[in-house]
Amino acid sequence: MSDRLEVFMFPCLSDNYGFLIHDPIEGLTATIDTPEVPVIEEALNQKGWALTHIINTHHHYDHAGGNLELKKKTNCKIIGPLADKDRIPGIDITIEHGEKFNFGSFDVQAFHTPGHTTGHMVYHFKSQNIAFVGDTIFVMGCGRLFEGTPEQMLKSLDLIMSWPDETLLYCAHEYTQSNAEFAITVDGKNKDLIKRKSEVESMREGSIPTVPTTLDLEKKTNPFLRSDDQEIRLELGMLESTRTEVFAEIRNRKDQF
């Protein structure tokens, strides 16, 4: 029997991804968020897994909208951020920033990553080099700041950047092609980005998912992780600005893109 966490990814809604995680040793199965109940149920049937847990990253409807229906059908336990306990439907177990917990035989550490929402949380399976990052970071992008500040989001992204470079980041949306098109406007001399943009275009032409990504790739090509890069600062005319100011300008430009 495998001692690896099994991850099954599948498209949901118009551009979301759903994720099932399975502990083959103890037979537990969780869905990371609940974007679309029938598709999650289809994935469970396809794998022959029984849902035991929902692990929520944040309260938005495309992440927690299926909680109550799935809980009613399966009696699963719902885990989510303490900071969002009043906005996560059906929550049973609240998790605080930095808290470690067990998903069966696997250790998970949860981190509060405000920015996209004030209560957003990401889940890092360190021994597996896997993290589920919701809408905090995307491939070559980051979440829109609906509730948090640029300073909060930059701190959240810095936390993610502290993980090992080989960490696989499972982002919740397929936004990569448009993110790449924007990234090139602020980091157009970046050879890694130019190469990656071409690769992504080929992948999407073939309907190949660009998720997961690696932290190493994001450090090289994601402008939101590169607010100290001199070429980006030169392009923005912000050589003397703080990292937060540069990040905020990149986010503002992306919002207008």
- Checking if the pLDDT of 143 tops 80, the result is yes
Alpha-carbon span 185 to 200, nearest angstrom: 16
Alpha-carbon span 48 to 21, nearest angstrom: 12
Alpha-carbon span 252 to 77, nearest angstrom: 38
pLDDT score at 64: 97
Dump pLDDT digits (tens) for 50-76: 999 999 999 999 999 999 999 999 999
Instruction: State how far the alpha carbon of 217 is from the alpha carbons of 108, 150, 163, 211, 224, in Å.
Output: 23, 22, 13, 12, 13
- Checking if the pLDDT of 171 tops 80, the result is yes
The helix or strand, by DSSP H or E, that contains position 186, with its residue range, turns out to be: helix 176-186
Q: What is the CATH number of domain 6-256?
A: 3.60.15.10
Preceding amide of 212 cis, omega within 30: yes
Mean pLDDT of 15-42: 97
Nearest to 140 by CA among 192, 189, 207: 192
Q: How confident is the model at residue 90 (pLDDT cuts 50, 70, 90)?
A: very high
- pTM value surpassing 0.75: yes
Dump pLDDT digits (tens) for 100-126: 999 999 999 999 999 999 999 999 999
Helix (H), strand (E), coil (C) string for 137-170: EECCEECCCCCCCHHHHHHHHHHHHCCCCCCEEE
Query: How is residue 223 annotated by DSSP?
Result: G
| % of the chain residues with pLDDT over 70 | 99
Alpha-carbon span 36 to 16, nearest angstrom: 9
pLDDT score at 2: 64
Nearest to 12 by CA among 61, 69, 73: 61
